[in-house]
A and B are shown apart, each in its own frame.
Chain A
Amino acid sequence: MFRVEAIRVPWLRAMDINPWPYLVLGLVSFLVLAPLSLLVLGSFSTARLPTDFSLAQTGLQNYLKVYLDPLTYELMGNTVIYVSGSVALGISLALTLAWLVERTDMPAKILIYAGVPMTLAVPGMLQAMAWVLLLSPRIGMINRGLMESLGLAEAPINIYSLGGMIFVEGLRLVPTAFLMLIPLLRSMDPALEEAAATSGINPSATIRKVTLRLLAPGLFAVMVYQAMTALEIFEVPGILGLPSRIFVFSTKIYAIIHSATLMPVYGQANALAMIYLLIAVVTTYFYSRMIGRAERFAIITGKGYRPRPQELGAWKIPALAVASLYLLLAVVLPFLVFLYASFLPYLQIPSAAALKSFTLKNYRLLATYGEVGSALKNTAIMVVVTATATTLLSFFISLVIVRSRFWGRKLLDQLAFAPHAIPGIVMGLAFVWVFLRLDFLPIYGTIWAMVIGFTTNFISYGTRAMNASLLQIHKELEEAAYVSGLPPWRTMRRIFLPLMMPTFAGVWIWVVLHAVRIAGMPLMLYEGSQNQVLAILIWNMWDEGYIPAAAAIGTLLMLSLLLLTLLVRSVGFRTQRADVGGR
């Protein structure tokens, strides 16, 4: 068996202790527990800045301030509406699409099977920006078009609203929910529904009394998972809510720290982050319980022929229309809007004049503008180092968890999974404390701060993937190599690594795809051009009104993400179903 071999420290050897698991446990504990404990400590700090924190200046003031403020309750209300609204929209769309492709004779199913996962390639931030370009009251093309054609005095739709946030986030939740629902529908024994038909129960009652009831536990788990995603995301409520000062948890914490008018009060941000964190942890706990229950229903499946598809008849066209409309709204339109805006000298609604003014100026600007170059370099280094570090660290953690008899392996497993429950913005805040307080790590304001923050966040995914694939590599496969006369290092090279390679590549690419697009945590750790990454650059350009330039970068980013996703899918790295969720 391949094990991390003991370091040759004579006295440890003598005591029969292998120091590797301790090293791994120590590192993971530091990464996870240091930020969390500073987050908790900081929530009691009465000093305004982390650097001024001392145990002498503590108290409950932050909590009192936060919890006595009626705005906090408005914030909670907003969050509840936003999360439940977007989950309801996202799940019903995803369920409709999944049912259409799995159980009906809808034409052009391949469009959905291939198209829906592609929408994952559109980062949340760009998706939200695209909808601002379409639906903002001032510059939104659809609004302007409607106002002109219908002669309205005011814009009919305002994307800077809870409704707007629900719409955009709802669309974004669809692909992950779709990918989770497909296997759920497939694993259901069609005989359960056929039994209803042969018992004289009509199709609509069958759907209500049998199909939906059977799906309920799994569906509920998907909903909880999606609620976590919506709760955690920063970019969509950030782009759509901040301008009109409609806050949810993630954006409020950001706003406390990055207020333009007030000095930041870190302690209050921490106090607010504590309930946010609590909600996220409870939801995660709930989710894992749910998964356990859902398995109880995973019962006897039949011989594996698909049931006869439901004939849609005259409904074929509306079904196809719904499916195409979704793809239009989720990828095609955002991409086209970005493409269009990137060619404009200044923002204007589509017209002959606009088309005539098309220019490549924005793209030329990108090539000459210094900040773009440095942001690209920062992003490349940050993303590659993060992906590599996450892959390696996850591998070592999983090796201890799956292959050793180390006493702390359960603890290690839980520690590595814990960041899954921590929203990115909270993680960012916590790491601000770590880097400002622990001065033996002089990396505040560098890209290395982001590397550490992201790595901590992503090991929860990385270890899940590694655990699963290590468990699948039976020891016998290696033992068979030994008894065939292969020495250990050859066994590792010829058997173990080739078998693990797809997982390594899968985790690495997953991390790249996510790290490059997330703006939340980097925004918390951002200090200036020395650690500005692409996501922040786009955010800042947008914020400062350089919209066509932001559109040009956005177009290029979207295009490369689309190509990368397409490549990944065609090469055949099927990312695990529950873990494909983008931000």
Chain B
Amino acid sequence: MIRIENLHMRYRSAQGEVDAVRGVSLQVAEGQFYTLLGPSGCGKTTTLRCVAGLEKPTSGEIGIGDHIVFSSRQAIHVPAHRRDVGMVFQSYAIWPHLNVFDNVALPLREGKKSYSGKEIEEKVRGALHLVKLGDLEKRPAPFLSGGQQQRLALARALAREPHVLLLDEPLSNLDAKLREETRLEICDLVKQLGITTLYVTHDQIEALVMSDVVAVMSMGVIVQEGPPKEIYQSPRERFVADFIGMANFIEGSVESPGEENGATGQVKTASGRLRCLLPSGSACGDSVLILVRPEDITLCHDRSTTQENVLPGRVEIVAFMGDSLDCQVMVDSQIVRMKLHPDVDLSRGQKVWLYLPPQRCRAIRR
């Protein structure tokens, strides 16, 4: 279990002060895969490094398992080497002067707990086997490929059987195809070991695919936290919707709020009335932003089929992407993006009607 409470981290450098983390609180349950997702510079790495003990936070409290490892109030700061963690660095930080075996063995040989030579050998073999590096034991570290270095870093972090695993963008240095494979492997591995994992990435797909819980960070704070599906489908802020996946935003104001509990209501927009899901407690006249994902919008050929939520538009750009047809449609003076089946026949300049299903239109407060 990892518990972070009201964490603040301020860097003082020659260029001035940077508030890298500004009040992060989170809790990673035992065995959970928790991901910090956010754009570069939002403070993810800093948060992770505070948990590892590589940075000393300005204030707040951090607990790992049953131990408090940092608390500004109680003046506790456990140094990194006495925390029960394993960490994979973005650069992998494989020790270049050691071979594969010794890279994994060094933490066991030099760590607090002492193991017999045989135990060490067993543990190292086990860890290397887990990451499928069993047959490269003797290879010097500089002769490993990027993917192998990544696995080795993981084996090294796991060999000590730490209570929690910290991963800082472990896939960002791999090429696209390898990244996809490794994503699933890491996921399987940590699930199989049941280890509590704090994962950092700026890649939304990674976060959605791998995590039990995703926390979206921006400028040093967590903006929204929840299971991947919830984060994707019901973002509570424009930033979250924008950062994860593609989204269309339509401005409007509430005309008639629906009944309580996820019911739909009417919103007046520049292009007409739209029925959509409103945030609870909306009142008449609230200004809102309606969010529709491109893949949720469909075409209808004449507007008589459904009266509601149909907007007229003109096709501006059609791009064939192989597995989909991405198009941009001008609705009044706004571009709406949609993602269609590749077989759909559309051409530039064509007049179309768009159907925005009410259950897929989500209004958020502005």
Contacts and interface: CB of A to CB of B under 8 A. Distances in A.
A308 B96 CA distance: 22
Interface string A108-129: 0000000000000000000000
B156 interface: yes
B234 interface: no
Contact of B93 (A189, A203, A213, A303): A189
A33 interface: no
Interface string B25-54: 000000000000000000000000000111
B342 interface: no
A194 B53 CA distance: 10
Interface in A301-344: 301-303, 308
A201 interface: yes
A194 to B, nearest CB: 5
B96 A197 contact: no
Interface residues of A, number: 28
Please indicate which of the listed interface residues A216, A300, A301, A302 has the most CB atoms of chain B within 10 Å of its own CB: A300
Contacts of A209: 106, 110
Contacts of B151: none
A296 B55 CA distance: 30
Interface string A71-112: 000000000000000000000000000000000000000000
A199 B91 contact: no
Interface string B138-157: 00001000000000010011
Contact of B106 (A199, A214, A303): A199
A194 B110 contact: no
A102 to B, nearest CB: 15
B110 A192 contact: no
Contacts, number: 99
A297 B107 CA distance: 21
B95 A192 contact: yes
Nearest to A204: B110
Contacts of B112: 200, 202
Contact of A199 (B79, B86, B142): B86
A300 B93 CA distance: 8
**Chain B binding surface SS class:** loop
Contacts of A203: 79, 81
B97 A197 contact: no
Nearest to A193: B93
Given A194-B80, A194-B93, A216-B97, A201 B52 contact: no
B92 interface: yes
B339 interface: no
A182 interface: no
A353 interface: no
B111 A200 contact: yes
A198 B87 CA distance: 6
Nearest to B102: A209
B82 interface: yes
B89 interface: yes
Interface string A173-203: 0000000000000000101101111111111
A123 B284 CA distance: 87
Interface string B59-91: 000000000000000000001111101110111
A563 to B, nearest CB: 29
A191 B97 contact: no
B82 A198 contact: no
B42 to A, nearest CB: 15
20 contacts: A191-B91, A192-B95, A192-B96, A194-B52, A194-B87, A196-B106, A196-B110, A197-B81, A198-B53, A198-B54, A198-B81, A198-B85, A198-B87, A200-B81, A210-B95, A296-B142, A297-B96, A297-B97, A301-B91, A302-B89
Interface of A: 189, 191-192, 194-203, 205-206, 209-210, 213-214, 216, 296-297, 299-303, 308
